[in-house]
């Protein structure tokens, strides 16, 4: 006996559902078209480049001079270096995180939601994955600029002198990719700019306090140190600080780098899945 039309429709419905689910959760295929998105954002940014760079430097410079020279004058050396040197290496990492987060959150959401730039771009033969990959690369590039600018300031002040500090640049870019990927997840979930206050309050600010930016991790309770070990910023600081302060190769370099790389890959995958649900359903 032949199957009834209802059974055929059930098979067809299951086939469509299964294939759509597979496409929804498939890892994004990255193409060179993402470069066009990066270039488009770069041309827009060039008009406001100076103001953007100064804005990215404002907060870390306030921390560096306010706490570094003010509070640092009252403190002994930390791990064999002055407090301003200890803090300076942390602010390089924190400024990278903040720059990547702001770009992946506020600027990306503006292009996606308010300006509807993404919709206009996807009318061309460019997929959602290309747009999101371009946004990821652009946010990481801006974070690289911010972290590099802070590094130049530390060199100019004589706080950092070792040529090994230049090896921090690829770490800064990897950190930018990591925090931009995490920020894209929040952007894909957001319905308005107000949503980002939760992200900064519950994730970014606690990470600055618990990752060793302002004080050594060994000063915290052991339970907090366990939590800190899972935070991306902790891995970034563990890689950058030895390069800047002592010119030494970081301990457990491979494990820290792999943790950051894996976090960026997984976070970007989740962001793309959420983006597909937002745009393609």
Residue ranges per domain, the chain?
Answer: 32-279
Q: For residue range 126-169, list pLDDT tens digits in order.
A: 889 999 999 999 999 999 998 998 898 889 888 888 889 899 99
| Number of Cβ within a 10 Å radius of residue 120 | 10
Question: From residue 225, how far is each of 88, 219, 221, 222 by CA, in Å?
Answer: 21, 9, 6, 5
Long-range CB contacts (within 8 A, 24+) of 56-61: 56/95, 56/98, 56/99, 56/142, 56/145, 56/146, 56/149, 57/95, 57/146, 57/149, 57/150, 57/153, 59/95, 59/98, 60/91, 60/92, 60/94, 60/95, 60/98, 60/150, 61/153
How is the chain split among helix, strand and coil, in percent rounded to 5?
A: 80, 0, 20
| Number of Cβ within a 10 Å radius of residue 200 | 17
pLDDT of 48 reads: 79
Q: For residue range 215-260, list pLDDT tens digits in order.
A: 888 888 888 889 888 999 999 999 999 999 888 888 889 999 999 9
């Amino acid at each position: 006996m032949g199957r009834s039309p209802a059974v055929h429709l059930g098979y067809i419905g299951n086939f469509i559902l299964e294939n759509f689910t597979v496409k929804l959760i498939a890892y994004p295929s990255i193409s060179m078209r993402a470069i066009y998105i990066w270039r488009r954002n770069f041309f827009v940014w060039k008009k406001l480049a100076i103001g953007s760079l100064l804005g990215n430097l404002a907060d870390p410079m306030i921390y560096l001079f306010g706490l570094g020279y003010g509070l640092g004058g009252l403190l002994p050396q930390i791990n064999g270096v002055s407090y301003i040197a200890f803090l300076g290496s942390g602010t390089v990492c924190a400024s990278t995180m903040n720059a990547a987060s702001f770009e992946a959150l506020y600027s990306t959401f503006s292009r996606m939601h308010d300006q509807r730039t993404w919709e206009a771009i996807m009318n061309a033969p460019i997929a959602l994955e290309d747009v999101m990959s371009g946004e990821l690369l652009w946010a990481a590039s801006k974070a690289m600029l911010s972290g590099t600018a802070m590094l130049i300031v530390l060199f100019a002040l004589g706080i950092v002198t070792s040529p090994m500090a230049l090896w921090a640049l690829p770490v800064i870019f990897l950190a930018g990719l990591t925090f931009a990927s995490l920020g894209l997840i929040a952007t894909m979930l957001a319905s308005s700019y107000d949503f980002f206050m939760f992200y900064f309050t519950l994730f970014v600010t606690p990470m600055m306090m618990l990752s060793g930016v302002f004080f050594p991790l060994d000063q915290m309770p052991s339970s907090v140190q366990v939590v800190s070990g899972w935070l991306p910023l902790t891995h970034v600081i563990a890689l950058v600080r030895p390069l800047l302060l002592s010119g030494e190769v970081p301990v457990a370099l491979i494990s820290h780098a792999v943790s950051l790389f894996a976090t960026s890959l997984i976070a970007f995958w989740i962001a793309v899945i959420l983006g597909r649900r937002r745009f393609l359903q």
